[in-house]
Structure 1
Amino acid sequence: MGGRGGVAAAPELSLGPEPTPRGVSYLRALAAASQARSRAAGIAAAGLRAQAAEYRAEAARLREALERAGLARDALSPPAAVSARAVAAVANLLAIRDTEMSSFVVASLDLSLRRAEVEEKRGKVHKESKALLDYTRKAITKLTELKKMLEKFKNDVEKQQVEQMADWQTKLVMMDSKERQYILQVSNYKAMLNRVGYTPEINHGVLMEMAEHKKDLGRKTKPISDTLRSYQDLPPDKALAALAIEDKKRQYAAAEKYLEDVLQSALTTPSL
């Protein structure tokens, strides 16, 4: 049966009375995997059985050798049995599988080396622990000092805050008094300006225009002022004034004559 978009749907897995090809393939794969595992288990079991047989044969040979030497388990005295068990325990502890003296020596040396390594590691750990303990003590001391500094800082901050608040309150009272004083001065200045006739129309621009106008008037009236000032030197009597004018004219003519003589003499004098 076709699926959506023309793609055929995968056959369902069915293991019932009417198995599908996919189900059959799945069963075959399971059977093959089971057979492979069974073969592997059989091989492992055969190897273990062979090894067990070898161990049993070796045990029988050892038992026979011990019996011939008179060292069977039943023939040993209790102290000897205890010693044998102790030797076996030591052998198991040292992980050796024979009773050769060399094996015990090698295992003992190996154990000594391991012990030396453990002692070295223990010494290193002890040294690191001591350093860590010293560092912890220093850290605790530093923490105590920091706590004291923090407490002192809090006290200083609270004290400074109290002093600063008192200072601010004093300044606030002073500023309030200054504000009232300035308001009173502004009111007095306004009253004074009202008395002298000040109006808002009199501003800086208007004053500058009036100053420029005053300068123009000064420039225009200066010639007239100079003329009037020259008349102030004349005598108040008309006759005396006429005589003074004639005297000035003679002085002027004499000055012109003197100037002409000087110029004439300068022109006639030969240059060196």
Structure 2
Amino acid sequence: MSDLSSAVDPSISEGTSGFDTSRIAEVKGWLVSQFEAAGKDVPGFEFTPRSVAHLHALATASQAKTQAAGIVAADLRQKATEYRSQAARIREILENVGLAQESFPQSAVSSVQVLANVANLLNVRDTEMSSYLVAMGDISLRKTGVEEKRAKVQKESRLLLDYTRKAIARLTYLKRILAQLEDDVPSCEAQMHHWKTNLEIMLSKERQYLQQYSNYKAILNRVGYTADISHGVLVEMDEHRRDLEKKTKPILDTLRSYQDLPPDKALAALAIEDKRRQYAAAEKYLEDVLQSALATTE
């Protein structure tokens, strides 16, 4: 019944038939015949337009297939009757000419039986030599084809075996690498923890250095530091300072020597005035040198 249901679309029958009492009677009769043939009772169910259409389609297809099977069976029975009649006629002819099966020796009967079995195996309809040769040639061709397919399959099997071996080798290698990596995990985790700790320290130092840089920059801005005051300018100014110290040192020594002289107000005033002029000239010279150094830097 499953074959019949697959051969017919119930939706088509449902759309064209409708809920018909005649079809319900046909469906009931078909169900009774089918279940009685199986020795069972028809199960109870509700007759709806969809179920009636579906079962009517199954019944129609089943009856058509049953009728076709009956025709084929009748034809086979007729052919069997004809074959039996022909076999009886041939047996009668052979007995009349003295070639009955009972008159042949057992070896000949066995040979004929073997020949018949070979003919059945080769699917030969007669015992002509040409038929045997054609059948043997066909078998040889099929054998050659089978051998070619077998060789092809064996080649593919060898290739698959080679691929399988390579895959197994690679799998073994990957497993070994995985085990090695798993063994290296603790040391790598410890190293990563160490790097993480160092990174946190470096970040803390970076924040500290940035804060110190900001503080130093604020101090430099507060004291009036500019980019014009470079290391070279400071070194040059220090050299001029040393030169001025060398030039003013004799004057200071002379002034100190005057402290040992007896007090003479007029001479002391003249000497002091002279030293003041020299000191003022030295200060002016130092100021000129500093101004010229700053102008050269700019």
Return the TM-score normalized by structure 1. 0.48
Higher-RCO chain (CA-CA 8 Å, sequence separation at least 6): 2
Return the TM-score normalized by structure 2. 0.44
